[in-house]
Amino acid sequence: MTPDRRLAWWLVWAYPPRFRRDVGLGLVDALEDRMRARRAAGAPAAIIWLRASVDTLRNASAEWIDCTRDAVKGVRDNDRRGRPSGHPNRGRTMIDKLRQDIKYAIRTWTRRPAFALVAILTLAIGIGANTAMFSVVNAVLLRPLPYAHADRLVTIWGLATGPQALSGNPHMLVAYQEYREIARQSSSFDAVAMWFSQSVNLTGVSEPQRLIGSFVTGSFFDVLNLRAERGRLFAEADSAPGTVKPYVVISHDLWQQRFEGKDAAVGATMTLNGVPLTIVGVLAPVFDVRTVPSEGWFVGYDVYIPAAQFPARNLDTVSMLSVGRLKESATMATAQADLEVIARRLQTLFPQTNTNRTIIAESAHESIIGQSRTALFLLLGAVGAVLLIACLNVSNLLLARAIDRQREIALRAALGASRLAVTRQLIVEAGLLAVVSTTAGLLIGRWALDALTMLPRPQGVPIPQQIALDTTVLLFTIGTAIVVALVCGLAPAVRTSRPDLSRVLQAGFRRGSATGSRTRDILAAVEVALSVTLVAICGLLVQSLLAVQRAPLGFDPSNVFTLEFRLPQAKYRTPEEIARFFQQAIERVRAVPGVQSAALVRAVPFSGNWGNTRYTVEGRTPPAKGSEPQTRYHIVTPDAFRTLRIPLLRGRDFTDRDDLSARHVAIVNETLARTAFPGEDAIGRHLTSPDAGPEPLTIIGIVGDTKHLSSTEPPQPQLYVPHYQFPLIFASLVARTSGPPMNVSNDVRRAIWSVDKDQPMWKMRPLDELVAASQGQPLFLATLLAVFAGIALLLAGVGIYGVMSYAVAQRTHEIGIRLALGASGQRVLGEVVARAARLTGIAMFTGLVLAVAAGRFVAAVLFGVRPSDPSTLAGAAALLAIVSLAACYLPARRASRVDPVVALAEE
């Protein structure tokens, strides 16, 4: 055979079978002739073959379309006339058979709509939930960050290495002086930048407004490859300390809102934090911030201000977030090695701050989404298990029907029909189920996503506001559909592909064959096992949630109104001016009706704001520079403890007399008192802290421990100093109210405006809402898992019910005989229940083993409960036992009440 002819043969294979049979040989000849003629004319072989292939591609696909259209038309004609069209050439091709199987499946469904509806609905819900969950995972975990060279973006952090490092916040911000060394010395980065977002006050406009600004180094735009859509961005030289370039770059949105998108915005002046800044450019939007998780990263701020403008006396010691772009040749490992070398140099350069401190790099993607990985994969795993249970249920239903038909098929097989007919029919039906339920599932998934994004987004699970069903998700769903079809169709197909003819036929036409009951039992047992696992994990999460909610906070968050503000440094230059403003503001707020007490704190608990410092105990040999122990650092006005109801255990609270002229005082919490002065009385002792100046602090009181960042953090040492001795332009107001906290918000604001009419305020919130928000992730996880576990329980119940009632129905005849011979109904009932119990018992054991294995994975999101918590596991098992007993009760009762006369007459 010539190569041309061989190719022609291959090409003709592309046509539909009917076409091949009718004119295939002729086409092979013609193709070969055409190729030979072209060869004779001197055309190169590649061109000849290409033209033949293109010809085939075009015509074969057209022919397939025609023949499918004919087939569909044929079905419709048949249906209309109720008999096969008498086409003379009509053969039993694959398409015909397929068409028949599909018709058969649809006919079965319309005859038993309840079965079809339940099957399709269960699968559609399962597929929908999976599609929605995977969309979230895809949007959050799988998609790269929407920046150029996203895979090379890294975040850079400080890391405490000494034994005194505080637990709970291992990643520390990078100081400007460290950044400078990294940028200068590292050979692994294309560019490194610092950025830090902070509220800025916009004044000089009709109503003072708070904007969210980001203080950035000029290299920031370079690292992220950002560009200006109008004007220009500022350069590294414009942001360095010492240069006071009054520049600002504004966001696209702010440009549209404030300047209606006019070009005149560039060059205009904005007064931010009391300083007039010139708008040099408008940042081109990188992406729709609603479609990315956690819009708080890198961009999405109103204004970008040179880092040199950061409100601090000495920029060198200011800590900020740091981001860098790796060189193409660099890897995380080389960058890390590089940073370690620099960290050692920093230790000698800045022994005060950098002893026991190293610098690490982490992929930016990991920094942003790393914490949510466990939670999201847990949810994806849970919906996957629910879908699997749904599939097994449908598989069981299909199997039951197939076994019913098996006698008919065995008979047909004995008479010469194809044994594979039933298998093929089952696979086609499972496939059709998968297709229909996937279509419905995509819709459900879309709705579920909308519902999910409408829920309050929990802290710690960054879910974008808008999630698109993109190609990856569609591919995932199609893959899911294939798996669904396989799981649904596999067991029944395998079970019926080789029917044991003699046995089936010997069993006769009685409904007595027990064929397939073992397969069905196994399917039901797997369902139960998976449900036990889900219920157990759900139980762990609920316990964890309860533990989080029960964890003592150390303060009373109910009826507390909070708000944040900052004073413009340009207006309040001296500590005296700041202290005076605060004293006046507090007095006016206390006078507001409905306010019982009020105070200022540097950081409201659970607001996400916090500060750390180091301390040394007076009168002891100080530890090496840089290895001093750390403590949380709070600045509060008098009455803060009373307002937050933090118990004052010993000593006294701060008073108005603890001011700039008085000697410096401090209050410590129990943990700090215990760590710093073990077995001694802390009152009257002295501490020094670099943040509180050189003068020692005299301890005047001891208060109870409080949680500050989350309910789950371990007790931390805490040091309180009086606001009037250490005035800070940042402050938050806390006010205990007699009624609902938000009722006082307008009066409180007016009270502060009566002191300074230019003062914007923000984040007006009740404290208990802050606390509740911090518990959002455990609540979110426990709620979703409870829904999934509920569905799983229901499906497992349906599964057991199905298996049991089928078994009873199959044995009606036998039971009838036994009852007629004098067996008691009780005994029959007992037997049915015992079988269900055996099944459930094995399944429960497997499920518990699975749950313990899965628990190790879940441990990362648990608090206050061990993954192998015996009571939770026992509870899950008990719940499943109840469900499975309830599910087998009806079939068992039916069995015990079989009327022997009816059962025997049934044949």
Among 26, 144, 456, 479, binds other proteins (CB under 8 A): 26
- In whole angstroms, what is the distance from residue 785 CA to residue 794 CA? 14
The count of other CB atoms within 10 Å of the CB of residue 58 is 10
- Cα separations in angstroms, 601 against 40, 564, 582, 734, 872: 94, 10, 11, 7, 41
Question: Of the candidates 43, 47, 50, 62, which one interacts with other proteins according to CB under 8 A?
Answer: 62
Tell me which residue has tokens 């709705």.
447
**Interface with other proteins, residue 77, by CB under 8 A:** no
Beta carbon of residue 63, minimum distance to other proteins (angstroms, whole number) = 6
Does residue number 51 form part of the binding site for other proteins (CB under 8 A)?
yes
Q: How far is the CB of 47 from other proteins (least distance, A)?
A: 14
Q: How far is the CB of 80 from other proteins (least distance, A)?
A: 21
Closer of 63 and 253 to other proteins (Cβ): 63
Instruction: Measure the CA–CA gap between 179 and 193, rounded to whole angstroms.
Output: 8
What minimum distance in Å lies between the beta carbon of 43 and other proteins?
13
Q: Which amino acid type is present at position 196?
A: F
Q: How far is the CB of 533 from other proteins (least distance, A)?
A: 56
Secondary structure percentages of the chain, helix, strand, coil, to 5: 55, 15, 30
In the complex, least distance from residue 387 CB atom to other proteins, rounded to whole angstroms: 44
**Strand residue runs (E) in 269-340:** 269-272, 275-283, 303-306, 319-326
How many other C-beta atoms lie within 10 A of the C-beta of residue 389? 29
Q: Identify the residue among 6, 39, 58, 290 touching other proteins (CB under 8 A).
A: 58
Helix (H, G, I), strand (E, B) or coil at 94: helix
With binding defined as CB under 8 A, does residue 31 bind other proteins?
yes
The span of 18-26, 239-247, 768-776, 890-898 binding other proteins (CB under 8 A) equals: 18-26
CB of residue 26 to other proteins, shortest distance in Å: 5
Residue 19 lies near other proteins (rule: CB under 8 A) = yes
Min dist. Cβ of residue 77 to other proteins (A): 16
State the pairing for strand pair 303-306/275-283.
unpaired
Provide the minimum distance between the beta carbon of 4 and other proteins in the complex, in angstroms, as a whole number.
12
Q: How far is CA 857 from the centre of its chain?
A: 15
The residue type of 402 is A
Buried b (16+ CB within 10 A) or exposed e, 781-796: bbbbbbebbebbbebb
Q: How far is the CB of 51 from other proteins (least distance, A)?
A: 7
Closest of 861, 763, 772, 773 to residue 459, by C-alpha:
773
Residue 54 or 117 with smaller CB distance to other proteins: 54
Contact 640, 601 (CB under 8 A): yes
User: How far is 586 from 591, CA to CA, in rounded Å?
Assistant: 9
How many CA atoms within 13 Å lie on the side-chain side of 176? Answer: 21
Instruction: CB nearer to other proteins: give 33 or 695.
Output: 33
Per DSSP, what are the bridge partners of residue 616? 688
Residue 906 touches other proteins, criterion: CB under 8 A:
no
- Beta bridge pairs of residue 321: 195
56 vs 130 by CB, closer to other proteins? 56
| Count of residues engaged in binding other proteins, rule: CB under 8 A | 21
Q: Choose among 33, 326, 342, 323: nearest CA to 156.
A: 323
Segment contacting other proteins by CB under 8 A, of 30-38, 327-335, 408-416, 841-849: 30-38
Sole window of 26-34, 313-321, 323-331, 744-752 interacting with other proteins (rule: CB under 8 A): 26-34
The 3-class SS string of 11-28 reads HHCCCCHHHHHHHHHHHH
Q: How many CB atoms lie within 10 A of CB 235?
A: 16
Q: Does 55 bind other proteins (CB under 8 A)?
A: yes
Please say whether the beta carbons of 131 and 450 come within 8 A. no
Contact positions with other proteins (CB under 8 A) in 619-648: none
Separation CA 474–CA 578 (nearest Å): 58
Nearest residue to 371 (alpha-carbon basis) of 470, 463, 299, 466: 463
Choose, by CB under 8 A, the member of 9, 17, 49, 60 that binds other proteins: 60
Instruction: Determine which residue in the list 4, 7, 48, 56 makes contact with other proteins, applying CB under 8 A.
Output: 56
Q: Which region, judged by CB under 8 A, interacts with other proteins, from 15-23, 134-142, 413-421, 789-797? A: 15-23
Report the residue number, 29 or 695, with the smaller CB distance to other proteins.
Answer: 29
Residues 9, 17, 49, 63: which binds other proteins (CB under 8 A)? 63
Which of 59, 164, 609, 743 binds other proteins (CB under 8 A)? It is 59
Contact status: 23 vs other proteins (CB under 8 A): yes
- Rule CB under 8 A: is residue 34 a binding residue for other proteins? yes
Q: Is 6 in the site for other proteins (CB under 8 A)?
A: no
- Which CB, 1 or 905, lies closer to other proteins? 1
Q: What single letter denotes the amino acid at residue 571?
A: K
* The one segment of 25-33, 78-86, 358-366, 645-653 that binds other proteins by CB under 8 A: 25-33
Based on CB atoms, which residue is closest to other proteins, 19 or 780? Answer: 19
Report the residue number, 4 or 869, with the smaller CB distance to other proteins.
Answer: 4
Q: Which is nearer to other proteins, 72 or 874 (CB)?
A: 72
Nearest to 167 by CA among 554, 604, 632: 632
Comparing CB distances to other proteins, the nearer of 34 and 642 is: 34
Q: How far apart are CB 59 and other proteins at their closest, in Å?
A: 3
DSSP assignment of 506-529, as one string? HTTTSTT--TTHHHHHHHHHHHHH
Nearer to other proteins, 11 or 481 (CB): 11
Q: Which of 30, 237, 443, 834 binds other proteins (CB under 8 A)?
A: 30
Under rule CB under 8 A, residue 22 binds other proteins: yes
Q: How far is the CB of 96 from other proteins (least distance, A)?
A: 16
Angle between helices 825-858 and 373-414 (to 10 degrees): 140
Quick check: helix, strand or coil at residue 708? coil
Other Cβ atoms within 10 Å of 156 Cβ, number = 27
Position among 3, 33, 187, 742 found at the interface with other proteins (CB under 8 A): 33
DSSP 8-state class, residue 117: H
Residues 412 to 441: which contact other proteins by CB under 8 A?
Answer: none
Distances (CA, A) of 876 to 490, 848, 863: 30, 9, 19
Tokens of 68: 């499918």
* Residue among 63 and 362 whose Cβ is closer to other proteins: 63
Least Å from the CB of residue 422 to other proteins: 33
43 binds other proteins (CB under 8 A): no
Least Cβ distance, residue 46 to other proteins (angstroms): 17
Nearer to other proteins, 35 or 266 (CB): 35
CB of 53 to other proteins, least distance (A): 10
Q: Compute, in degrees rounded to 10, the torsion defined by CA atoms 719, 720, 726, 729.
A: 100
Out of 86, 89, 620, 621, the only residue in the binding site for other proteins (CB under 8 A) is 89
Provide the token pair at 424: 């093929």
Segment near other proteins (CB under 8 A); pick from 47-55, 509-517, 665-673, 772-780: 47-55
Closest CB to other proteins among residues 16, 128: 16
Min separation Cβ 367 and other proteins, Å: 58
Tell me how far the alpha carbon of residue 372 is from its chain's centroid.
6
Q: Which residues pair with 735 in a beta bridge?
A: 561, 598
| H/E stretch holding 247 | strand 247-250
| Binding-site member from 2, 6, 10, 29 for other proteins (CB under 8 A) | 29
Q: Where along the sequence are the contacts to other proteins (CB under 8 A)?
A: 19, 22-23, 25-27, 29-31, 33-34, 51-52, 55-56, 58-60, 62-63, 89
